Structure 1
């Protein structure tokens, strides 16, 4: 891996406090900054992947709705009611 220098300005007080905090973790400021950069990149990649998944899911839902591939609200409620009754029955049976 080739390396390059990344130079930026920061308040002296912040730099000193950061260096001191890094030292308490037996790390250099540069090591921590590299870790922070990697974590930031990973977080951004995960957010982008989630956004892409979400958009695909919404598009699939819209396509299903537009083609009539839906479930009636009454059917969903009937299934939910049956599930609630069964769950209550199991809970009552387990406490008896």
Structure 2
């Protein structure tokens, strides 16, 4: 692993409080900051992957609609009404 130095400015009181907190958990500040950095990078990668997945899903829906692969509002409402009725009956049988 190639190490690099990362330098930044922080309020002295925050630095002192952070150092005290890391020492109380038996870790040094550099270890904790590296962990924060890894978590941040992982979070950003996951967010980017989700964004790409979401865009693919939206495009698939647009493509399906453009191709005429649609379900009518009446069909959707009829299926929803049937589902609601089934849930009502299920709830009544338990009650």
Is the shorter-chain TM-score for this pair beyond 0.5, marking a shared fold?
A: yes
Other-structure match for 1:28: 28
Q: Does 1:46 align with 2:46?
A: yes
Displaced runs of 4+ in structure 1, greater than 6 A? none
Distance in 2 between the 1:70 and 1:31 partners? 54
> CA separation in 2, counterparts of 1:9 and 1:90?
62
Deviation at 1:11, TM superposition (A): 2.1
Q: 1:24 Cα shift?
A: 1.8
Q: Counterpart in 2 of 1:8?
A: 8
Q: C-alpha deviations, 1:17-51, integer Å up to 9, x for none?
A: 11011112221111110000000001100110110
The runs of 5 or more residues in structure 1 that have no matched partner are none
Structure 2 stretches lacking a partner, 5+ long: none
CA distance in 1: counterparts of 2:93 and 2:36, whole angstroms: 52
Q: 2:94 and 2:12 mapped to 1: Cα distance?
A: 64
